[in-house]
Structure 1
Amino acid sequence: MMRRVSLILSLLVLCSFPQAYAAGPPDVSVGYVQQGMVPLPDSKVLLPPPPGKDSATLTADEVVSLNAMPLKGGKRWELAIRDADLSFPAAAATFSCALNVPVSEKETPHLYTLLRRSLADAANADDAAKALYNRPRPFLVNHQGTCTPDVEQFLRGSGSYPSGHSAIGWAWALILSEVAPQHADVILRRGLAFGESRIVCNVHWQSDVAQGRIMGASAVARLHASREFQEDLKEAKKEVESLTKKGLLPDQAACTAEADTLRLW
């Protein structure tokens, strides 16, 4: 099951961002939770079914989706496109502004590894519910485009509930809040926005995003039982502290633009 999800993630990222893969798609199959260990949380056990017909939650999903439509083509839409990219090294920089340090394989190797490996675990935690419910995505219902047209055909066969990107983004936000607790509020807000980008992108409903965060948080709770995770977490803290002391900062103009854009949603 985990292998299937990893293959899907690799295919999704590869199809969305072909220029990023001259050397082939990233290996997202190796998380911190391996076969034979205590398993990841089971989304079909933890989560309720997706909202039923005529439910208040489904009505809210439709209203939120409709309200996001005017953002298409604007700066918030462009950020949603960037947030859709789970490829590395691009994805590693997602929280650079929130952390207030540059994140890269060279400057922060343990943090880089922490993000890559936890991506696999957070995504795999979603698998059971996605397969069980196979909920249609918003663009299949409202017949509007998405911010990643290159993978719309793939997304047609991939369940909307819960949101894998939201699970990953929230897992990253929780982990990074431990790495740099002094920036926790900004980091968590960026993690929330990462999930909201899926609504802006017209590929997930609000309830998909909310339940994706539940699975992301559940995966992080499980990761704390991993010795390798704890070691990378410890070293990642040292890396961020070191860069902070050196005064190394991310692109400040880009960070100002990101902050302005996030106010749009």
Structure 2
Amino acid sequence: MRQLLAPATAGSLLLLLSGGAASQDATPKLPPGTPQGYLTAADYPDSLALLPPPPAPDSPAFARDEAVSKAMARAPGSPRFVQAASDADLGLAHATQTFTCASGIAPDPKTTPVLYKLLLKSMIDVGLSTYKAKNHYQRTRPFVAHGNATCFPKDEAALRKDGSYPSGHSAVGWGWALILTEIVSHHADAILARGRDFGESRLVCNAHWASDVDAGRVIAAATVARLHAVPDFRSDLLKAKAEAMRAPLVPDGKCTADAAALRG
């Protein structure tokens, strides 16, 4: 497992992929040492075929994007803004805890190694599946269009070069939510709600438009459907279910604070 978690995966998936995104390849190449997902590039869903073009600047759909962007803005330092900044961090050790409160499981490479591997490999698959459309449209992000900041400044330089549509973060969050509902089905509603909130964090963060987030969820669902055709994924899913039944309980204190932040 230690070999699986290559140094490149310790940082944001976005930063991991930004070199490939800048090259305008349909699908960015992962740096050497980064583990392969369950899918090959040929197996990724065609995001360009599955999605309509992003809203045109003078369209009612873009007017909705602008209205939602304004409605979702939160003051820096507010609980919801802080939560959005936390959700922006796709460093693996941090991001895998996103659904801890919703699922009741804290993924860990020692106590739940297969689940941890499953989250890593599916993150790579879902994230890369967004790039054919991302690189084709190269949509400008709201913080660039408006000339202001995001909730996660250290990603901004890479985000400026990374197409906004569809949202990779939202795709990863929704993909994980769909997978985790199969592993911990008795917490399905809470997990899906957290997946929804994870996507909405991209709006609070000023990193994406609402239509980017919606499109990210479409690609997530398409990718997870593809994953179910892969024997290794199905095998790991069953093993992860067994791990989840033995996993330590999650303390309630942090979950109460997180729930309050998401309501803000």
Q: TM-score range by the shorter chain?
A: 0.7 to 0.9
2:36 pairs with one of 30, 40, 56: 30
Cα distance change on mapping 1:167 and 1:108 into 2, 3 Å: same
Structure 2 counterpart SS, 1:77: helix
Question: Which of structure 1's runs of 4+ aligned residues deviate more than 3 A?
Answer: 8-11, 25-29
Q: Map of 1:144-183 to 2, 5 A cutoff?
A: 144-183=148-187
Partner of 1:189: 193
Q: Alpha-carbon deviation of 1:210?
A: 0.3
Partner of 1:249: 249
Q: Give the letter aligned to residue 251 of structure 1.
A: P
Q: Map of 1:43-62 to 2, 5 A cutoff?
A: 43-62=47-66
Q: Measure, in 2, the Cα distance between the counterparts of 1:199 and 1:113.
A: 28
Q: Map of 1:46-85 to 2, 5 A cutoff?
A: 46-85=50-89
Q: Alpha-carbon deviation of 1:174?
A: 0.2
Partner of 1:139: 143
Structure 1 counterpart SS, 2:257: helix
Cα distance change on mapping 1:26 and 1:57 into 2, 3 Å: farther
Q: Alpha-carbon deviation of 1:26?
A: 11
Partner of 1:21: none
Report which stretch shifted further, 39-48 or 146-155. Answer: 146-155
Q: Alpha-carbon deviation of 1:226?
A: 0.6
Once the two structures are superposed, residues 188-213 of structure 1 have per-residue CA deviations (whole angstroms, 9 ceiling, x without a partner) of 00001111111111010000000000
Partner of 1:217: 221
Q: Give the letter aligned to residue 153 of structure 2.
A: P
Partner of 2:15: 12
Report which stretch shifted further, 214-223 or 100-109. Answer: 100-109
Cα distance change on mapping 1:89 and 1:205 into 2, 3 Å: same
What TM-score, normalized by structure 2, do the two folds share?
A: 0.87
Q: Measure, in 2, the Cα distance between the counterparts of 1:133 and 1:74.
A: 33
Report which stretch shifted further, 186-195 or 92-101. Answer: 92-101
How much is the aligned-residue C-alpha RMSD, in angstroms?
2.1
Q: Alpha-carbon deviation of 1:102?
A: 2.2
Structure 2 counterpart SS, 1:70: coil
Q: Measure, in 2, the Cα distance between the counterparts of 1:238 and 1:100.
A: 14
Q: Give the letter aligned to residue 263 of structure 2.
A: R
Partner of 1:91: 95
What TM-score, normalized by structure 1, do the two folds share?
A: 0.86
**Unaligned stretches of 5+ in structure 2?**
1-8, 19-30
Number of equivalent positions: 243
Give identity over the alignment, percent: 47
The answer on whether the counterparts of 1:9 and 1:28 sit within 8 Å (CA) in structure 2 is no
1:226 pairs with one of 227, 230, 241: 230
Residue 239 (1) aligns with residue 251 (2)? no
Q: Give the letter aligned to residue 260 of structure 1.
A: A
